[in-house]
Structure 1
Amino acid sequence: MSGTEKAMQGVADTLREFWAHRPVRPRAGRKLGGVATGIAMRFQIDPVIVRIAFVALALSGGVGIPLYLAGWLLLPEEGDEVSPLESLISKGHSSMSQAQTVLLGFLMFPALAFTFGSGGFQVLVTLAAAVACIYLLQKNRGHLQPASTLADTPVTPPVPGAPAWDPLGAAPFAWDLPEPSPRPQPPAPRPRKPRVGLMTLGVATLVVAGSTIAGTWAPWFTIPHVIGLLIAVLAAGLLIGSFTGGGRGLIWLLVPLSVVGFAMTTINFDGPNDFGDRNETPKTVAEVKDRYEISVGSVMLDLRQLPDSGSVKTTVEAELGELVVHVPKNADVTFNCEASSIGELNCLGKRAEGSTAQVDGTDLGDNGEGGLKIDLDVLTSVGEVKVLRD
């Protein structure tokens, strides 16, 4: 067997050990399904670090979402014989119902579609980093007893009636011998913490430099993709540092970078580069523009001073922000309101919120059909949309 084959066999054996002694999702102290808490307890690391790592992976192309769902399905709950997925195929008992297990399984499909549909190479790198972290955890801390059982190890009480062993029982004259003085021991050398944070920052610097060079001939290395790679490197460094010591300072770089990465992958900046607030109040039909758009900020379009006849068609659009349109009481308004990523809509009494929210319809106003006709599109990626008649 060659050296490469031996190395691959060692990795496979370590991953098999992880599966054989996989974490157990606790019933207490968990935030959602107990996956992060179970991993932290199994390998005696800080649960906050594991949760932040999952959040960072979720913001890095969405990888953390299917990984968390997979842990929910494949890790048994405290007190159960097997995991929910194994229980579904009749391998033992799980406290999760089959309906809940099937629902989690169905949630995997949109999670995987979103992850692989938006990430590409970045997703593969992040998945490889996650598998590498699992391998390192099992390799370096797999021998540890889960933290939840350390304090529960029973102490065997003495058997009632059994004679206690007395090493001086046969030599009463030795009972008053002085205690030997302990031999002074040299102070134990303080273990040197590996500089995981500095090493991770070094790798991150190499990623930036390599991406800058590769970006001259490979169009894939855009700013959002490079940020995704940096998030994957920092998340891997944070997990490695959780069981080797150090690296906690990476949190202060990982969290804001994850927020920036989420914003850049959610918001399309190919449109206008306007920032701030816009207030428009056209008084004639001719003054109404075909489009009012902004990148980040707010747009307030007041159409209440338009005449009672004629027709207008306009679009109000923002990537991130608040859009408010006021229409006359008697106008016939055909509207389409949409938040393509996430937002809250309130358009002439129709409401919607969440991801990819949309409402549309026609509202004839207080006097019914007749008068000024308005065809209105109000669109945002992330934000709030209002069409008000007041």
Structure 2
Amino acid sequence: MTIPSLSSPLSVLRTPPIAVTPAIADLLGQEAAVAVGVSGGKDSQAAAIAIFEYLDRIGHAGPRILIHADLGMVEWHDSLPVCERLASALGTQLVVVRRKQGGLMERWESRWHSNVWRYEDLRTVTLVPCWSTPAMRFCTSELKTSKIQGELARSFKGRQIISVVGVRREESRQRARAAVADRNPRNGIWTWRPILDWHEEEVFRSINTRDIEPHPAYRQFGMTRVSCRFCIMSSLADLQAATCQSEAHDLYRRMVDLECRSTFAFQGARWLGDIAPHLLCRDARERLAAAKDKARRRAEVERRILQPMLYVKGWPTRMLSDAEADLLAEVRCQVSELLCLNARYLDRTAIHRRYAALLATRAVKVGAP
């Protein structure tokens, strides 16, 4: 990654145009409230700068703010101060929202606790990862988007609202398919992605021309992207760079502990504990090795479950045959023993009884006779 220096010629550093749709232009003409989500990373910095300059040019007189979702101990120490300095430079208010039940680390831990309870009570067929995944980014939906939009709906009640996010197509396949703007049908809030087609070099150049420093994680820590200290989307190089920072060590050990307890690697097949084993005590390294072995054995056991028996939306959809119930009972016994769980419903009769109860409950919920 090349970060343009502050001495680069201004003739080369012209800000690229932002993307605006007719719907967004119409809302701005109605003086809609504009809130730019900022994380401390370069893209949200660049989006905030570009949007505030654009609003000034078109004479927008509606309210405008920056809003930051604090994810707790997974955040870099510098992230909130970077957002505060940006708000000061733009002469605007910075609103900070947080999850009342704790940050992302607490969410991962509570998710594992919930997963164990659901498995023990046969509310799911297999254990599932406690971590966010690229396909299931509840870290973004629950701790960022929902908190930010909830705050905006309360703060700007009765007014049209535009939530600006600094995402770019070249970051991922999913973002490559994103629309410039779309409306949340549940709350009416519009999401605007004005720098969707910008390139990384343009982002840094935009920041540099305003004499605003990007997050130190880029230039000082060697990170290519700044989000959480350890992100499910991080490259191996970024994970290694993060472990070199002392501020991340306590979080690293806590996350590895959850890997050991859950037997699920942080990034699917990549164990966070393998990134910097020198930061772990001997007992932690031994627990990690045991967790990897348990993960392998758990996966082997759970692969025996037949595809028609696996969890689907609306599960359970039918009673199991005696052979299927026997198989599920055997798998549950082995997994429970392997992970020291207190699973119930461990024989054919108990499983049939449990499925009958679940089906009866489901029938009541959907209003079936």
Relative to the length of structure 1, the TM-score reads: 0.21
Larger helix proportion of the pair:
2
* Structure richer in strand, relative to its length: 1
Larger Rg: 1
